[in-house]
Structure 1
Amino acid sequence: MPAQLCKGAVMKKYNNILVAIDPAQDHQPALSRAIHLANKSSDVKITIFLAIYDFSYEMTSMLSSEERHAMRRGVVMQREAWLKDLIKPHAEDGLDIDIKVVWHNRPYEAIVAEVFTSHIDLLVKATHAHDKIGSVIFTPTDWHLLRKCPCPVLMVKEHSWPENGKIVACVNLAADSETHESLNNAIVKEAQCIAGILGAEINLVNAYPATPVNITIELPEFDPASYTDAVRGHHLTSMKALRQQYSICEEQTYVIEGLPEDVIPKVAEDLDAELVILGTTGRTGLSAVFIGNTAEHTIDSLNCDLLALKPDGYVSPLAPNID
């Protein structure tokens, strides 16, 4: 089914993509995903970025600072040569791809700095898959980027994006705050952007909480069935308004009782989705759909790519100081 667009929707695209390279791997899923997106659009610039560091080069007291600098520069040049070989076939196909290698002991800080410096639209980074269950395993660098990177972060796995695939956009319909409403809209619009590029189907999912057991114990007159019906009714009404705003079919919306960390991976698995889109706030965990560690449990259980967005007005703790 073709992607759905509401009337007047402005289709953004990713003009400036930053790919975080894994120095331990020859095959780069993140680069493959960025090239896939670039081939579906026009005027896309890709920068492949590598932050390297070797503490031994800092501890060699017998060498002068100039000699240590020369040694570091030699390592950087070796990596630059490797990256040039990596992108050669794609550059020959006419793609606009740049290379940047920096010496930095905190890769996530170097990556976010490049996002700010080069006005990046999308950061793409590969994740690691658990051998037993196939879920995504996030490294400390991944978590820092998900929490602190100001632009959308696409975490990819070792698989392709087929045509006419499925996207799961996770929305939070429990809160009435402007921040959550704005982020819900951003999530759906981002889903439309990618669906428009790939010809994918958008599915909206929202998890709502079950009736707390302690309330039924402490308040004998409390009617849990009526409470549950009221909560579900609120979420269904909110979902209807959201899907109608963006012309999404009812059959492609899911309002399910349960914890987000249980509901969302299950829906993504049942749909065999290629991508899950979440909202983030960058506090101690991910939010918009979740607060705190709930998101961490959720995305660790996903068996597909993840796109994490920040709300409008988000200010990264790594933002450069401007006097």
Structure 2
Amino acid sequence: MLMPTHLCKGAAMTKYNNILVVADPAQDNQPALSRAVHLVQHSQDVKITLFLAIYDFSYEMTSMLSADERQAMRRGVIMQREEWLKDIIRPYTDEGLNIEITVVWHNRPYEAVIAEVFANAHDLVVKATHDHDKIGSVIFTPTDWHLLRKCPCPVLMVKENKWPENGKIIACVNLAADSETHDQLNDAIVSEALAIGKALEAEVNLVNAYPATPVNITIELPEFDPASYTDAVRGHHLTSMKALRHKHGLPEEQTHVIEGLPEDVIPQVAEELDAELVILGTTGRTGLSAVFIGNTAEHTIDSLNCDLLALKPEGYLSPLSPQLK
């Protein structure tokens, strides 16, 4: 089990005051809890809830037991897991951190997590992901994907490695779309990166991918000038990036405008910079499965080898919202 360490040297990060950490039921080591503590270690009045949803189908199928007996058995299992979580948080609570535990019986962990977010107004969900042994990228479980698509608040997916001092954060922005929603989301992504960067003393880099000239256009339109088209597209993205970095006070060398698909460009830059965190935005209408920063597909984040923070646009309404039930 990771013991609390005072890693965060920068300014207190007070944006997140009510954090929900999803426990990994399979191990005592809880990287998500360690990351949440890292983020808020020098903040005041921050509450962390370590949350676990458990379910055992065999308890539901035991016909020899009455409903009351099955309920008592479930309660016994919950109490055992509560004691386990209490042991995990004790080193942190002994240092004065405000950490509580919640264990529920639910057969769909992601629904249980989102219901908890709505019930207690959590402003950040932190969950551990798993490394792929061969390529070092993050492997997301079905629960991870459901949370990324449907959770109403930001979701931080973490790997087991520690964040280094003076690391690098990548804020992925979409400069192709000309809409107020995308502009607001770009600003939210950059502001988020700057806030976390200040807390962790990490360098913030902006990344934008612009599309290559479609091959079919050059075939169908012989008079089409692909070089001029590419120059125009790149120029638009460079101009937009300049305006965005000036707005947020970032130097040019910390911005990257690269030709290619976002699902290729983002992991490439993250690897080149040895980034500790990538921040992405979702449109919120159809979730990550269809639109993820413009045309970025789900496999973008499958290719990352670092932590991921996914943000929703202002006004996003989760399909699991009580308002829709």
TM-score bracket for this pair, using the shorter chain length: over 0.9
Aligned partners of 1:171 and 1:187 also within 8 Å: yes
Supply the distance in 2 between the matched residues of 1:214 and 1:129 (Cα, whole angstroms).
38
Q: Distance in 2 between matches of 1:268 and 1:144?
A: 24
**Equivalent position SS for 2:322:** coil
TM-score by length of 2: 0.93
Hey, what does 1:285 align to over in structure 2?
Answer: 288
Runs of 4+ in 1 over 2 A off after TM superposition: 284-288
Contact kept in structure 2, 1:123 and 1:154, CA below 8 Å: yes
| RMSD over aligned Cα atoms | 1.3
Q: Say whether residues 1:98 and 2:100 are aligned partners.
A: yes
* Aligned residue in 1 for 2:254: 252
1:178: which partner in 2?
Answer: 180
- 1:243 Cα deviation after fit: 0.2
Amino acid at match of 2:225: D
Partner of 1:40: 42
Identify the residue that residue 319 of structure 1 maps to in structure 2.
Answer: 321
CA distance in 1, matches of 2:77, 2:288: 35
Structure 2 counterpart of 1:24: 26
After superposition, the Cα gap between the structure-2 partners of 1:37 and 1:161, relative to the gap in structure 1 and judged at 3 Å, is: same
Letter in 1 for 2:22: A
CA–CA distance in structure 2, aligned partners of residues 40 and 129 of structure 1? 29
Instruction: Show the counterpart of 1:297.
Output: 299
Q: How far 1:39 sits from its partner (Å)?
A: 0.8
Q: How does 1:126-275 map to 2 (within 5 A)?
A: 126-275=128-277
Cross-structure match for 2:116 = 114
Moved more, 34-43 or 280-289: 280-289
Q: For residues 110-156 of structure 1, what are the alpha-carbon distances to aligned partners after superposition, in whole Å with 9 as ceiling and x for unaligned?
A: 00011111111110000011000010000000000000001100000
**Aligned amino acid, residue 69 of structure 1:** Q
Which residue is 1:51 aligned to?
53
The structure whose RCO (Cα within 8 Å, separation 6+) is larger is 1
Q: Where does structure 1 lack aligned partners over 5 or more consecutive residues? A: 1-10
The offset of 1:284, in angstroms, is: 4.6
Between the two proteins, what is the percent identity of the paired residues?
A: 77
Equivalent residue pairs, number: 311
Measured in 1, the distance between the counterparts of 2:42 and 2:147 equals 26
Q: In the alignment, which residue of structure 2 is the partner of 1:7?
A: none
**What are the superposed Cα offsets for residues 155-178 of structure 1, whole Å, 9 maximum, x if unpaired?**
000111122111000000000011
- 1:193 Cα deviation from its structure 2 partner: 1.5
Q: Residues 14 and 40 of structure 2 are in contact (CA less than 8 Å); yes or no, is this contact kept in structure 1?
A: no
Q: In terms of mean alpha carbon deviation, does 20-29 or 167-176 score higher?
A: 20-29
Return the alpha-carbon distance in structure 1 between the equivalents of residues 194 and 287 of structure 2. 28
Aligned counterparts of 1:322 and 1:43: Cα–Cα separation in 2 = 32
For 1:295, the aligned partner's letter is A
State the Cα distance separating 1:295 from its structure 2 match.
2.9
Question: How many Å apart are 1:290 and its aligned residue?
Answer: 3.4
Cα distance in 1 between the residues matched to 2:309 and 2:324: 29
Contact 1:152 1:307 in 2 (8 A): yes
Q: 2:5 — aligned with what?
A: none
Question: Aligned AA for 1:158?
Answer: E
1:186 match: secondary structure: helix
Alignment partners' CA distance in 2, 1:41 and 1:219? 59
CA distance in 2, matches of 1:158, 1:22: 12
